[in-house]
Every structure is written in C-alpha cells, then in structure tokens.
C-alpha cells in the first residue's frame, strides 16, 4: 500500500464504495504474515471513514494466523471506530493457488496451514458480533 496522494484522494472523492482488505489488525503479526506493516491500510480506513466513503471490510481467515480471539476483538474495536463500514466479510483461507508457488519453484509459506472452514468463519463472526 502507498501513502495517500492528491491523485488518490481525487479518485476516492468519486468512489461509491471501497472493499478494504485488512491483512491483520496486529502490526507485528501483519509484518510476519505479509511482510509489511498494517499502518497505512488502517490509516486509509480512517481516511475513508472521515471522508464519508462507504467501506466493506474484508479479512482472510487463516487458522492459526488471523483467528486469534484477542486479535479479532481488536479488529472489532477498530471497525467500531469507523463510521462508514457497511459490511464485514471473512474470506476463508484456501490453498487453491499452492500449485502456482510450486510451479515457480517457490516455498509456499502456508504449507502446513489447513483451509478455513464454515465453523472457523462462524466463530469469527460471533466474536465480531455479526451474522
């Protein structure tokens, strides 16, 4: 993610809805999971909210990585601080792209992680108080 520029702000002024993926609410865990901080994406969410731009928050639910109850409660608190969130979605982690990593000769970082299932999603939704 890049810092907000005047050009990006201009585009956002014409935007009806932003689908925003929050990789992980915990900054250190975000760095471990995806290799970079979550600070810009959280600042972006605040900018959207402060400028009355509707948001759908999305998070990939990765068992053992993004499903910790305390992290989900922190995510819930963050989302509650935003005034334009219209929807929250959990996207279940899957390994359908694993073959691409192998074909490229790269290590698949989530090799030993199971796919998220409907019980995982329902548990996360319950923690966030959504249906």
List phi, psi (to 5°) of 74: -65, -40
Compute the mean pLDDT over every residue in the chain, rounded to the nearest whole number.
Answer: 92
pLDDT (mean) for 76-83: 97
Q: Tell me the average pLDDT across 65-75.
A: 96
- Paired strand residues for 56: 19, 87
Q: How far apart, in whole angstroms, are the C-alpha atoms of residue 23 and residue 40?
A: 11
Question: Could you tell me the two tokens for 6?
Answer: 């005047």
Instruction: Evaluate whether 93 touches 61 at the Cβ level (below 8 Å).
Output: yes
- Burial tier of 48 (Cβ tally within 10 Å: 0-12, 13-18, 19+): buried
- pLDDT tens digits for range 6-41: 999 999 999 999 999 999 999 999 998 888 999 999
Q: What domains sit in the chain, N to C, each tagged with a CATH number?
A: 6-128 (3.20.20.70)
- Can you tell me which residue has the tokens 């969130």? 85
User: Cα(21)–Cα(24) distance, rounded to whole angstroms?
Assistant: 9
pLDDT digits (tens, 9 = 90+) for 90-131: 999 887 777 788 889 888 777 888 989 999 999 999 999 997
- Whether 49 has a pLDDT exceeding 80, the answer reads yes
**pLDDT attached to residue 34:** 87
Mean pLDDT, residues 74-83 taken together:
97
User: For residue 51, how many C-alpha atoms fall within 13 Å in the half-sphere facing its CB?
Assistant: 18
């Amino acid at each position: 993610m890049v810092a907000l520029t005047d050009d990006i702000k201009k585009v956002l002024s014409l935007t009806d809805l932003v689908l925003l993926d929050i990789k992980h609410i915990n900054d250190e865990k975000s760095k471990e999971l995806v290799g970079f901080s979550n600070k810009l994406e959280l600042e972006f969410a605040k900018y959207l909210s402060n400028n009355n731009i509707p948001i759908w928050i999305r998070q990939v639910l990765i068992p053992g990585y993004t499903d910790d109850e305390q992290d989900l409660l922190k995510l819930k608190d963050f989302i509650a601080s935003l005034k334009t969130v219209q929807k929250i979605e959990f996207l279940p982690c899957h390994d359908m792209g694993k073959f691409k990593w192998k074909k490229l000769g790269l290590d698949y970082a989530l090799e030993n992680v199971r796919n998220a299932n409907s019980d995982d999603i329902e548990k996360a939704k319950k923690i966030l108080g959504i249906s």
